[in-house]
Structure 1
Amino acid sequence: MKQRILVAPLNWGLGHAARCIPIIKALFAHGFEPIIASDGAALLLLKKEFPEFSTMELPAYNMTYAKNGKFFKLKLIKDAPKLLKAIKAEKKAVAAIIETQNISGIISDNRLGVYNKNVPSVFITHQLKVLSGSTTWLSTKLHEKFIKQFDACWVPDTKGELNLSGKLGHDHSLDTPVTYIGALSRFEKKDSTLTIDLLVLLSGPEPQRSLLETKLLKELENYSGRIVFVRGLMENQQTVKHKGTLSIYNFMTSELLEKTINESRLVLSRSGYTTIMDLAKLEKKAFFIPTPGQSEQEYLAKQFTKKGFAPSCNQDDFSIKMLDDISGFKGLTNFNSEIDYANLFRLFQSE
C-alpha cells in the first residue's frame, strides 16, 4: 500500500492552498497517496484541482480582516480566543483522521493545530518572523511556540541573499530543523504572445477583497486596453462576464490561470507571498497593493519597490495612472532551482 500523507493548507485567501498544489503533485509522483484536508475556499480549490484524491474538512478558523487597516492588529487580538478554540478542535480532528485513514505523515501549511506526535509532521511557512509593528517580538515568539510542535519546518524560499521573503523567512531562533526548499509555484513559464494588457488578480479574506474589487472596477473605467479581472471567489461553477475590453472571472483553475498570466503584460495584485512566487516563476511585471494593516504584505511590497522590481502603493492612494510608472521597474525574476522533493520526503519514508 502507498503511504498516505495528509496535506492541510490554511484557508486564508487562496495562496496557501495554491502553493500546496506542486507538493501534492510531487507526493503522488514519488509514490505517496495525498489526503487533502482544509475548509472553505481552500478546500474547494483543491477539490477542483484533485478530484481523484480523498478530502477531509477541518474546523474553520473564520478569521476576517478589519474594514480599517489601522484596526487589523486589534481585530486579531479580539479573534484570538476563537482561533485558539479552532486550533484545539483541529488537533482533535487530525488525531481522528490519523487513526481512521492510516496516515504516515503530515504537511501543514500554516495550520497551527495540524500535527501529531505519532507521525512525522512538517510545517510550511515563509514567516519565521511575524511582523506586527511594536509587538513583532511577541507575535514571532508565539508563532515559534506553535512551530516547535512540528518535526520540521519548510520555508518556500532560497537560503542565500537572492531570495523572495527577506527578513520574514530568514530571521529566526527556531529549535525545529529549518529547510529552505525553494520557491513553490504551480506554474511554468511559456513563450506566449502577450494578448492581455492588464491582469487583475484578487484574493484574500473579506472585507478587504471586496473593498479593493469595488475600487479597482471603478478605476478601470478609465483604462484603455484588454483587461482580465479574476475576482478570487471560489464557487461551484466558473463564470465569466464580458464588458467591452473587460473580462471578469469569478475564479480560474491552475491551467487557465497559468495561460492567462503568461499572456499578460502587467499583473495588478496583492503582495501575497504565493502570488509573488508565481509571478517570479513566470518573470512578470507587476504592481502591488498590499492588504491594509497586514504588515507582511506591506513589507514585501515595499521591498520589491525599493529594489526596483515592482511599484506599489497603499490601497487608498491607488489610481490607474500609477500603472504608467511600470516602465521604470525591471519586473520579477526567477532565480529558483528545482526542488529536491525526494530528499524532503525521506522524512516520511523513515517510518
Structure 2
Amino acid sequence: MKTTSKNILIAPLNWGLGHATRCIPIIRELQRYGFTPIIASDGVALQLLQKEFPNLLTIALPSYEIEYAKDEKDFKWKIIKNSPKMIQAIFVEKKRVKALVKEYDLKGIISDNRLGVYSKKVPSVFMTHQLNVLSGKTTWISSKLHRFFIAKFTECWIPDHKELPTLTGKLGHLESSSLNLKYLGPLSRLTKKELPTRYDLMVILSGPEPQRTMLEEKLIEELQKYNGKIIFIKGKVAPEQKMEIQNHITYYNFMTSDEIETAFNESRLVLSRSGYTTVMDLAKLEKKAFFIPTPGQFEQEYLAKRFKRIGMAPFAKQNEFKSEKLLEIDLYKGFPKTNETVNWKQLFILFHGE
C-alpha cells in the first residue's frame, strides 16, 4: 500500500483500550490537516484501530506483554517480573521504527506511551497523562525513569488542562521541569448529543487480563439485582460483534466509536474502571459515573479517590462492590463540561519541517 510523503506514525501502547481510543481524535485531525497517519501497535489496541480506520496502513509492533496479577498485592511483582520482556520489546520496536522512518519517509511520530517509538531524524512526540508514575514507595524512581524516556522525544503532549480545574491532578503536573511539555486539554473521540434516555446504566469494561474478565464475571452476577435497564459493553474486541439480551441487560462484546458515542448519550449513569481515557470521555459528555479501579493499579486508585474527594464520583474496590452502591451516584455532582482547548494547527506545525 503506497502512502503520501506526509506520513505520520501513530503508535499507542496496548494496555487495555484507552491508549488506542484516545488516539482516534488525533488520527482524525491528522487526516483533516492533510497528513497520512500510519498506525503501529499490537494486540487488541491494533485490532480496535483497524476496525476504526480500515483504509489506513497498520503495522504490528512487538508486544510489551503487559499482564496483571490476579491478586492486587502481586501487581508490582508481576510488572517487575515481566520487565525483561518489556525492555526487549522496546529495543525491537526502536530498531523497527528506524527502518520505518526510512521506508515510509516519515515526517513525524506520535507515541502514546510506547517508549521505543521515536527517532532523532524526525520530530517525535510522546503522549502521556502520567509525568508522575505512581507505584507506592517506589513512585520517585518509576517517575524519574519515565521522565528519562520522555526526554528522548521532541515534545511531550499531556491530554489535560495546564491550569485548574485539571483531571489528572498530580499525575500530569510537575512543579518544574526541563521537558518540552504541551497541554492539549482533555481528548475524547466522543461528542455530546441530546438523545432520549434508553438505559439507566451503561457498563463499559477495558484493561488487561485477567482483571477485565474477573470484573466482568463479578458484575454479571451482581447486576442481576439492579433495578433498571443496562447496556453492558465487555470491551472484548473480536472479528464479529455479538449482542445478547438477558432479562434487563443487553450485552455487547465490543462497539465501534460511533456506537459507543450513542450508547453513552442514551445512558443516564456509567459504571467503569477509573482509567484516564474513560474519565476524559465522561468529562466530554458531562456524565455521572461510579468507578471500580483496577486492583493494584496505583494510577486508577489515585484518580478514583481524587474524584470522590472533590465530589464528582463515588467508587468501590472490586472485591467490595455491591449493586446497591450505585445509589450513591446521585449524591455526587458528576463531571462538569470541559473547555475545548486543542489547537491542532499549532500542534501540527512540528511536522511541517523546513
Indicate the TM-score class for this superposition, using the shorter chain for normalisation: over 0.9
| DSSP-derived class of the 2:319 partner | coil
Pairing of 1:1-351 with structure 2 (within 5 A): 1-171=4-174, 173-351=176-354
| DSSP-derived class of the 1:345 partner | helix
Q: Structure 1: where are the runs of 5+ without partners?
A: none
150-159 vs 71-80, which deviates more? 71-80
Root-mean-square deviation (CA, aligned residues, Å) is: 0.9
TM-score (norm 1): 0.98
**Quick one: percent identity of the two aligned structures?**
56
- Following TM superposition, by how much is the alpha carbon of 1:95 offset from its aligned partner in structure 2, in angstroms? 1.0
Say whether the 8 Å CA contact 2:5–2:107 is kept in structure 1: no
Runs of 4+ in 1 over 6 A off after TM superposition: none
- Following TM superposition, by how much is the alpha carbon of 1:161 offset from its aligned partner in structure 2, in angstroms? 1.2
- Following TM superposition, by how much is the alpha carbon of 1:336 offset from its aligned partner in structure 2, in angstroms? 2.3
* Alpha-carbon distance between aligned partners in 1 of 2:174 and 2:140, rounded to the nearest angstrom: 11
Alpha-carbon displacement from aligned partner over 1:132-185 (angstroms, at most 9, x marks no partner): 111100000110111111010000000011110000001265422000011110
- Matching residue's letter, 1:182: G
* Alpha-carbon distance between aligned partners in 1 of 2:227 and 2:327, rounded to the nearest angstrom: 12
Aligned residues: 351
Say whether the 8 Å CA contact 1:148–1:174 is kept in structure 2: no
Say whether the 8 Å CA contact 1:129–1:172 is kept in structure 2: no
Say whether the 8 Å CA contact 1:162–1:335 is kept in structure 2: no
TM-score (norm 2): 0.98
Say whether the 8 Å CA contact 1:201–1:230 is kept in structure 2: yes
- Matching residue's letter, 2:244: K
- Following TM superposition, by how much is the alpha carbon of 1:313 offset from its aligned partner in structure 2, in angstroms? 1.1
* Alpha-carbon distance between aligned partners in 1 of 2:227 and 2:165, rounded to the nearest angstrom: 36
* Alpha-carbon distance between aligned partners in 2 of 1:334 and 1:157, rounded to the nearest angstrom: 13
Say whether the 8 Å CA contact 1:87–1:113 is kept in structure 2: yes
Say whether the 8 Å CA contact 1:144–1:174 is kept in structure 2: no
